[in-house]
Amino acid sequence: MDQRIISFPNELFFKEVKALLDEGQYVRITVKGRSMRPFLQDGDTVVLAPVDGRSIRWGTIVLARTDLCGIVLHRVAWMRKGKIWLMGDAHFRQREQTVKKDVLAIVVGAEKDGKKLKLDSFGSNCAVVLWFLLLPFRGYVLRVYDRLNQKKKKG
């Protein structure tokens, strides 16, 4: 079967994603980039749900528009006085600021290599809390994580 890949700008893609979300539909997209390591990897799939009526809270992964980086899929790191700060799990300094009206969707599901990930289980919530506590050491932990993954792929 002949498969073709069609590329187009993120703004156009996310405009269509937003239109589907505005209709109340859930949308599956593929994660691109390394900013959400180790929890989400490039190539993983996430399920986006409309924000309407859903609470945005600390630790939630959201798709949001930011002034600094455009549209990002990052985790809510802080919320205060109507402002929301987002941070990629692989970041230890960079944070993006947004507001609730610019949160396009909430991640309600994910798959890695065809297997469902439990994003809202007790264990994953504990892992997220631990990851935030490790903030000053994330760079070192990710280097070890990346090296182990490279060895695993080679072996």
- pTM, rounded to two decimals: 0.88
CA 99, CA 16: separation in Å to the nearest integer? 21
Question: Where does the chain have alpha helices with state H?
Answer: 10-22, 122-133, 138-154
> What's the confidence (pLDDT) of residue 110?
96
Q: Is 141 within a domain?
A: yes
Q: Is 85 within a domain?
A: yes
Question: Where does 2-154 have alpha helices with state H?
Answer: 10-22, 122-133, 138-154
Cis peptide before 38 (omega within 30 of 0): yes
Q: Is 1 within a domain?
A: no
Decide: 46 and 104 in contact? Cβ < 8 Å: no
Count structural domains, the chain.
1
> What's the confidence (pLDDT) of residue 155?
60
Question: Tokens 């190539």 sit at which residue?
Answer: 43
Walking along the chain (155 residues) 10 residues at a time, the average pLDDT comes out as: 71 92 95 93 95 85 92 95 94 90 95 91 93 92 88 69
Any idea what the CATH number is for the domain that residue 129 is in?
2.10.109.10
Tokens of 20: 């589907």
Domain membership of residue 64 as a residue range: 10-154
Residue 10, SS3? helix
Q: Is 4 within a domain?
A: no
